[in-house]
Amino acid sequence: MHRYLTRAALVALGGAIAVAATGCVTIETGGSAPASSAPATGDAGLGGAPPDGTAAAPAPTGSPAGHGGQPGGGNTGGGGNTGSGGNNNGTAGKKPSGPTIVYYRIKQKPQCDQGTNVNRIPGVPVILEWKVTGTDKVTLSVDGPGIYDTYPAVGTATIDFPCAGVPGEHVKHTYQLRTVGGGEVRSKTLTASALVHEIPMV
């Protein structure tokens, strides 16, 4: 009788274990899967490895690849030879040294005497004007070498115009301006002319 009781107890214990096991399986398959403490992978996890197990490529830095033909923005600070074209050492536009004749011209054209011996109309003298820099004096020569007079670097000169000649022809006179001091001598010559009029006797 003791043997039968022991067998019955074992059968009952096995059934309880089976029931307990069946109930555990029902709970696992009937509800949602329990949360896992393992970190999520792929896009769901921060810093997780890709599903295929390869290491994630580091994010590129700088400008996108292909901009300028090189990743990261290409050759930083491009633009080539900065300041090129300035190798004139400051010589461009440099003014020549010494005196300079800015202008020298005839301000008033001369005229010879006209009219009659009774009503004679005097002639008009020639007036010259000039401007010179780099010195403070100039000289004028009339009809060849020799100094007619000395003048300041900026000024005018009124000079009588002799009209000895054949009526109907033009008489000419030359006037040379020359710089004095300040470096190399600069000079310029002008020629003025006027018609010789006949002065009839009345």
Q: In the structure encoding, which two tokens stand for residue 6, read together?
A: 């022991």
pLDDT interval class at 202 (50, 70, 90): confident
Beta bridge partners of 101: 132
Please give the mean pLDDT across all residues of the chain.
Answer: 71
Over range 37-43, report the average pLDDT: 42
d(CA 156, CA 194): 20
**Domain segments of the chain as ranges:** 100-195
CA neighbours closer than 13 Å in the CB half-sphere of residue 131? 3
Over range 14-43, report the average pLDDT: 42
What CATH class has 100-195?
mainly beta
Q: In the structure encoding, which two tokens stand for residue 57, read together?
A: 């490529």
Q: Give residue-wise pLDDT tens across range 45-89.
A: 334 444 444 444 444 444 444 444 444 444 444 444 444 444 444
Please determine, for residue 3, whether its predicted confidence score (pLDDT) is greater than 80. Answer: no
CA 155 to chain centre: 41
pLDDT of residue 174: 98
| Integer angstrom CA distances of residue 40 from 37, 47, 49, 53, 57 | 9, 9, 9, 13, 18
Q: Enumerate residues 6+ apart whose C-beta is below 8 A from 75.
A: 68
Q: Which residue has the higher pLDDT, 53 or 95?
A: 95
